[in-house]
Amino acid sequence: MNRILHIIGSPRANSASREIGETLVDRVRKRHPNVQVDVLDVWSADFPAFDEEIMNAKYADLLGVEQTLAQKEAWAAIGLLAARVTSADLIIVSTPMWNFGIPYRLKMLIDTVTQNGHLFRFDPATGFTGMATGRAVLVCARGINFATGSHTPEAEFDFQKSYMRMWLKMIGITDVEPIILEQLLFGSEADSNARLAAKAQAHVIAERL
Ligand SMILES: Cc1cc2nc3c(=O)[nH]c(=O)nc-3n(C[C@H](O)[C@H](O)[C@H](O)COP(=O)(O)O)c2cc1C
């Protein structure tokens, strides 16, 4: 284990998903003291502008047309961000559920960095081939209850874990361990219990990494 990328998707100081992600990082560090930890907080990160220059660069790439110098520079900036993803042995994603999906800044990261030739290659005959090679732990925090039989069963209402799993698969990562914290809005006792259980799970997962 050489490199961990910890993607932080919550802007809250008391974020549950962030706390559990950091617990996991600390545990992995104990087992692998030389591991490098790259923290990508989507709320403070300065993403490359996703403007018309980038769009033209993307379509030039897709159509096999030579990129202009400005487009090459814009495309290279995306490459630097993508390298943080492809060079990680372990990606930890800490994400809240917002409106049954993920926060828009995390989606912004995904829309910016998920580019042909940087995170995946696409061939009409063979489909997507991801360029990331690591494994992932997905820490998903949610306010309410997603059990079968609840008002919001996961099969119908989850666009958080399912979306993040799909993204990880698209970029090449299928070894994904989820840690789910639910009912965090049901009082301080429910919140503490969910965090305690998730920490215990993080400790077990760290032993396998
Ligand atoms: C804008 C916003 C939208 C939310 N939408 C949902 C939701 O759709 N379903 C849910 O279970 N909880 C929802 N919540 C509650 C959060 O998922 C919950 O507070 C969780 O702890 C946030 O993760 P964090 O502690 O890592 O910030 C929402 C919270 C916010 C701020």
Sheet hosting strand 176-181, strand order edge to edge: 36-41, 3-8, 90-96, 135-141, 176-181
Cβ contact 81:48 at 8 Å: yes
Residuewise pLDDT in 10s, the chain (209 residues): 999 999 999 999 999 999 999 999 999 999 999 999 999 999 999 988 888 888 898 899 888 899 899 889 888 999 999 999 999 999 999 999 999 999 999 999 999 999 999 999 998 999 999 999 999 999 999 999 999 999 999 999 999 999 999 999 999 999 999 999 999 999 999 999 999 999 999 999 999 99
Q: Give pLDDT, residue 58.
A: 87
State the pLDDT at residue 92: 98
Nearest alpha carbon, ligand 1 atom 2: 98
Span from the CA of 183 to the centroid of ligand 1 (angstroms): 10
Protein residue with least CA distance to atom 4, ligand 1? 98
Distance, CA 181 to ligand 1 centroid (Å)? 11
CA distance 6 to 85: 10
Structure confidence at residue 13 (pLDDT): 96
Q: What residues flank ligand 1, with Cβ below 6 Å?
A: 10, 12, 15-18, 96-100, 141-144, 184-185
**Nearest atom in ligand 1 to 181's CA:** 21
- Judged on CB neighbours under 10 Å (0-12, 13-18, 19+), 42 is buried
The number of the ligand 1 atom at minimal distance from the alpha carbon of 103 is: 1
Q: Which atom belonging to ligand 1 lies closest to the Cα atom of 182?
A: 11
Residue pair 38/5 in contact (Cβ under 8 Å)? The answer is: yes
In degrees rounded to 5, what are phi and psi of residue 175? Answer: -85, 90
The residue whose CA is least distant from atom 30 of ligand 1 is 98
Residue 89 Cα to ligand 1 midpoint, Å, equals: 28
Q: What domains sit in the chain, N to C, each tagged with a CATH number?
A: 3-208 (3.40.50.360)
pTM: 0.96
How distant, in Å, are the alpha carbons of 38, 43, 57, 72, 88 from that of 7? Answer: 8, 10, 26, 26, 11
Could you tell me the distance, in angstroms and rounded to a whole number, from the CA of residue 64 to the centre of ligand 1? 42
In the block, tokens 């993920």 appear at 102
Cα(95) to ligand 1 centroid in Å equals 9
pLDDT at 62: 84
* Residue 100 confidence (pLDDT): 98
